[in-house]
Structure 1
């Protein structure tokens, strides 16, 4: 029995190694391709560069306008992250901690939305955004992503808020605290591990969001990083400057990789802890 268990462990480790390699090897390939010249790239895409050509990274920054797209992304991601995370916490508190008529019906409708593919909302959302003149606007994207809801975030944060003893709120109400004071002074601090986890997931989702900016932004000066790299990719059929494009891709990958490396433990702990508490 012990030998079978050990054999299964080796099998799972081998599967995880293959899976991890399928993620890391393409990134490594893109990185050393970004250090080549175009001549070396077209001569042999698998060969290592004869000399590291770091100038490709500065060329990518200026040629593709990455600097402007970084500023656009900072505004879009930063504003959406702050507003959206706060609204998730507020809505979760209302649905989990407050008793009111129709609460179970609202939860039921939210759960029902899990069976609806998000793509079905694109057309009505676009019609609504166009009617209120918020297309081709980063602020419109911030409003759309902040007030639009992700059920996963509600469920994750609900697990934390349900674990807070009801007596804590009741004693605060007896002492004369208002509903909002209880939320800001008690619920938010005690739910902070879950809120941080939600914020990390939201950052990764917003930073890598492509379909929203692609649909709503038409002015190239307002492009986010993901859309800017896509636009650079379409230019390659005319310029074929692939090594500079690869350098731009590596620059764009840095923020999301850094955030995940720094907070991967918090992501795993927060997700599992929220599931256990829920």
Structure 2
């Protein structure tokens, strides 16, 4: 009984734990907030506007010119009643040269995006993991290069490519795309390689692996999310690029989609072929829009991871 009393007394002497105070909610979470409501209204209005534009683009691609101007938001009927629902798309694809331009764009964008990532990955790894002298300064130099508008270097690039006979040439445009996209992609990938643990490299060095083998077999697979993000962002950017293709491409056989659409604009306006013109816009816009919708989560996650580390 004495032992029991001692234990009971010891328990009684213990200080009573006070439960932690419930955290106060954030100021914005306390009911109605004017700025939060205004922000939601702006976001929803912007979303509704973009949805309306997308609806108009898709429906207008199947309409006659008269329907486009007189019934902008009605469903298409003219070409459907005549059994030619895809007439505008067929006209843009065959008569306006969008078929060849589509193939050129796919090959050019795919090749350029892959090469950009293949060159940027070793550069980012060297700047962040190999202890290169002046790595921080080089990284800042890349960031500065990202802020230079590429419009300022168009004339020197054109003169340089003209001297080696690479104007009006898809390979010449490929070189320009790769050169102008390397700073951004390298800067993006530095965040991913910097986030990887040092213990992996130390273990690989103890096992006798060279820096090159460590990069290709260990670090590169771990940075797969960053590589995919860089690949997707470059593909979207290069697919929609217009100015460089206008400057460097002149022949119909070398046109990209953006260049073919620019050339088709004048002819379609002169011929009142507005249905085919809108169909051409849809051919340019919709593939990348679908790609972004399907991979938006991966893109946002990749950018957040690279920036947060």
- Pair 1:261 & 2:270 matched: no
User: What is aligned with 2:169?
Assistant: 137
Report if the CA contact (8 A) 2:116-2:185 is conserved: no
Q: Specify which of 126, 131, 141 is matched with residue 99 of structure 1.
A: 131
Matches of 1:62 and 1:207, distance apart in 2:
20
Q: Name the structure, 1 or 2, with higher relative contact order (CA <8 Å, separation 6+).
A: 1
Report if the CA contact (8 A) 2:117-2:227 is conserved: yes
- Structure 1 pair 204/127, CA: closer, same or farther in 2 (3 Å)? same
User: What is aligned with 1:11?
Assistant: 38
User: What is aligned with 2:18?
Assistant: none
- Structure 1 pair 188/240, CA: closer, same or farther in 2 (3 Å)? same
User: What is aligned with 1:272?
Assistant: 304
Shift of residue 85, structure 1, vs aligned partner: 1.0
Q: Specify which of 211, 215, 221 is matched with residue 253 of structure 2.
A: 221
Shift of residue 271, structure 1, vs aligned partner: 0.8
Shift of residue 45, structure 1, vs aligned partner: 4.3
Matches of 1:155 and 1:21, distance apart in 2:
34
* Range with greater deviation from structure 2 (79-88 or 131-140): 131-140
What SS does the aligned partner of 2:209 have? coil
Q: Where do 1:1-278 residues align within 5 Å?
A: 2-5=30-33, 7-45=34-72, 47-51=74-78, 52=80, 53-277=85-309
* Range with greater deviation from structure 2 (204-213 or 97-106): 97-106
Matches of 2:40 and 2:210, distance apart in 1:
53
- 1:153-177: CA deviation from partner (whole Å, max 9, x where unpaired): 2332111111112221122123222
Matches of 2:149 and 2:283, distance apart in 1:
32
Shift of residue 70, structure 1, vs aligned partner: 1.1
* Range with greater deviation from structure 2 (162-171 or 35-44): 35-44
- Structure 1 pair 189/40, CA: closer, same or farther in 2 (3 Å)? same
Shift of residue 137, structure 1, vs aligned partner: 1.0
The structure with more radius of gyration: 2
Report if the CA contact (8 A) 1:87-1:146 is conserved: no
Shift of residue 214, structure 1, vs aligned partner: 1.0
TM-score norm. by structure 2 comes to 0.83
Matches of 2:204 and 2:140, distance apart in 1:
30
CA-based RMSD of the aligned residues comes to 2.0
TM-score norm. by structure 1 comes to 0.91
- 1:187-243: CA deviation from partner (whole Å, max 9, x where unpaired): 110111111111110110011111121111111111001111111111123211101
- 1:34-80: CA deviation from partner (whole Å, max 9, x where unpaired): 22223333545455434444322222211111111111011111110
- Structure 1 pair 235/54, CA: closer, same or farther in 2 (3 Å)? same
What SS does the aligned partner of 1:134 have? coil
Matches of 2:92 and 2:165, distance apart in 1:
33
Report if the CA contact (8 A) 1:36-1:50 is conserved: yes
What SS does the aligned partner of 1:205 have? helix
Matches of 1:163 and 1:268, distance apart in 2:
17
List gaps (5 residues or longer) in structure 2.
1-26
